[in-house]
């Protein structure tokens, strides 16, 4: 599993972004993904399986306008 920590811009709320991302991934029928908002640090943590290139592209595309940075763990 890969963990991505998306650092969210201050003008956005991590919990709202996490909920919107869940909806988007459900619409696209992606499964086996865990999304967690960390409001204290205004981050969204996304856990995806190792061999999920299409899922990673969908998450990165969604998050590009909300993030200030990303950390792969």
Note the pLDDT of residue 31. Answer: 87
Q: What is the mean pLDDT of residues 14-36?
A: 96
- State pLDDT tens for residues 36-66: 999 999 999 999 998 888 999 999 999 999 9
pLDDT, position 69: 94
pLDDT, position 51: 82
What is the residue extent of each domain of the chain?
2-72
Task: Report whether pLDDT(19) > 90.
Answer: yes
**2-72 — its CATH code?**
3.30.70.2860
Phi, psi of 40, deg, nearest 5: -60, -30
Q: Quick one: CA dihedral 56, 2, 7, 12, positive or negative?
A: positive
């Amino acid at each position: 599993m890969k963990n991505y920590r998306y650092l969210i811009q201050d003008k956005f709320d991590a919990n709202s972004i996490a909920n919107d991302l869940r909806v988007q991934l459900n619409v696209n029928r992606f499964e086996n993904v865990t999304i967690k908002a960390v409001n204290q640090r205004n981050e969204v943590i996304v856990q995806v399986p190792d061999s999920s290139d299409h899922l990673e592209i969908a998450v990165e595309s969604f998050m590009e306008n909300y993030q200030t940075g990303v950390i792969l763990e």
